[in-house]
Amino acid sequence: MGGIALLARQAGHTVTGSDASVYPPMSTQLEEAGIRLVEGYEPVHLQPAPDMVVVGNAMSRGNPAVEYMLDNGLPYTSGPQWLSEHILKDRWVLAASGTHGKTTTAAMLAWILEDAGMAPGFLIGGIPKNFGLSARSGDSPFFVVEADEYDTAFFDKRSKFVHYRPRTLILNNLEFDHADIFDDLAMIQRQFHHLVRIIPGNGLLIAPADDQALQEVLEMGRWTPLETLGPGGQWQAELLHEDGSAFEVLLEDKSCGTVNWTLTGDHNVRNALASIAAARHAGVPVGIAIEALAKFENVKRRMELRGEVNGIRLYDDFAHHPTAIETTLNGLRRNTGDARIIAVLEPRSNTMRMGIHADSLPASLEEADQVLIFSPASLEWDAHGVFAPMGAKAEIYDSTQAIVERITTRARSGDTILVMSNGGFEGIHQRILNALESSQER
């Protein structure tokens, strides 16, 4: 929604926005764009009546602003619908979808097109450091969008991505998630197939060859050429460094060049292959895409180094699913070697709070040397019971201040602190860094 607000502002509209909790980096870029933010959902925020109310999918019936909007007959639409009608119409849309890696892959793809001189528009669920903003209209037919499977709005229960009508579609991976709106994996697969059904015959599908859930989606029917990646696929990577910081790109077993970049992890190597394939479909030679990735800077809050104090490095990561947590930690372990990793986790997403993946969490955190879990009263499962098999390695806290204090007394030079949450986490990242600074001064 923040990105859509930016696009509307760039189109010349006066834009205001309401939210329950606005925090950086999104709040900062919105304010810098001249978008006024207000806290909460009061009818007065819709006075005088706007020309259009763009309703986010977190809004539901009973919300005071929603009820006022309906009672007074104000014109309204969803974010995806507004985007489709006002920005994406007549554009070549390149979409990155999947349970994991959408944001990073979309950012990679947008940067490749940008570096190739194609000036794409984009809408990404984070802030790519190469651009410094999460959305822009662009000056060419090309538009890159992060394509989310979550539902559109309280009045439109289709997945958001069906509104985008991409010509080039990346299907990164598929697992069960969003348990608050989907009953099982099959329901999500059906939504993904709705997306596959609208890709034109002159478009392109890009998918891993070894993802069973996606293969089942494609077996429901497809009418578009498919390029596969990963083991058994047309696009493959041969690691030159174990941590994924250098790899050779292979297409049909022929070398296309070598990526040397700052990212690590098998998941990012896969994201890179997908973005290279998608860019090639839009006309970017593979060699040019490889050169662009050497200059790629990741998205804020995706393994973002927030600071270093006395040899202690603190990273911020958006991981909020066991698979993403495990993949992130595995990549970090390859980079740090035997150095100690302290993982801090906030189970914040709706699915995490419901406990759908709780039993998988201990195994996903295995690579960490110490795990500190934030377990507020709103958590719907017993964190002490779930993490009991990890013994003394896992510690449960009901306050972020207690976590800050524990890390301050325990961390030592050479440690890596990995903070994982899909929210603001009460500003714990900077609080830890400040506390470490203060402890060093004493």
Which range has the worst mean pLDDT, 9-23, 265-279, 397-411? 9-23
Q: Which fold has domain 304-441?
A: Protein-Tyrosine Phosphatase; Chain A (3.90.190)
Give the mean model confidence (pLDDT) for residues 417-439: 90
Quick one: pLDDT band at residue 219, thresholds 50, 70, 90? very high
Rounded CA separation 82/404 (Å): 42
Evaluate if residue 285 carries a pLDDT over 80.
Answer: yes
Asked whether the bond before 362 is cis by omega within 30 degrees of 0, the reply is no
Cα dist from 389 to 116, 356, 361, 386, 397, whole Å: 50, 18, 11, 7, 17
Cα dist from 321 to 120, 178, 187, 356, whole Å: 30, 10, 18, 10
Rounded CA separation 305/418 (Å): 9
Rounded CA separation 409/439 (Å): 8
Which range has the worst mean pLDDT, 65-79, 124-138, 312-326? 312-326
Listed by start position, the domains of the chain span: 2-78, 88-293, 304-441
- Pick among 3.40.50.300, 3.30.2310.20, 3.40.1410.10, 3.40.1190.10: CATH of 88-293: 3.40.1190.10
Rounded CA separation 134/154 (Å): 25
pLDDT score, position 144:
98
Give the mean model confidence (pLDDT) for residues 430-437: 93
Rounded CA separation 371/36 (Å): 39
Evaluate if residue 442 carries a pLDDT over 70.
Answer: no
pLDDT score, position 183:
79
DSSP 166: -
Quick one: pLDDT band at residue 441, thresholds 50, 70, 90? low
148-184 pLDDT, tens digit each: 998 999 999 999 999 999 999 999 989 877 767 777 8
Give the mean model confidence (pLDDT) for residues 88-116: 95
pTM of the full predicted structure?
0.78
Quick one: pLDDT band at residue 358, thresholds 50, 70, 90? confident
378-395 pLDDT, tens digit each: 888 899 999 999 999 999
Which range has the worst mean pLDDT, 15-24, 226-235, 359-368? 15-24
- Pick among 3.40.50.11440, 3.40.50.720, 3.90.1150.10, 1.10.10.10: CATH of 2-78: 3.40.50.720
Same topology, domains 2-78 and 88-293? Answer is: no
Q: What is the token pair recorded at 90? A: 């007549």
User: Is residue 135 a contact partner of residue 141, using CB atoms and an 8 Å limit?
Assistant: no
More confident of the two residues 264 and 207: 207
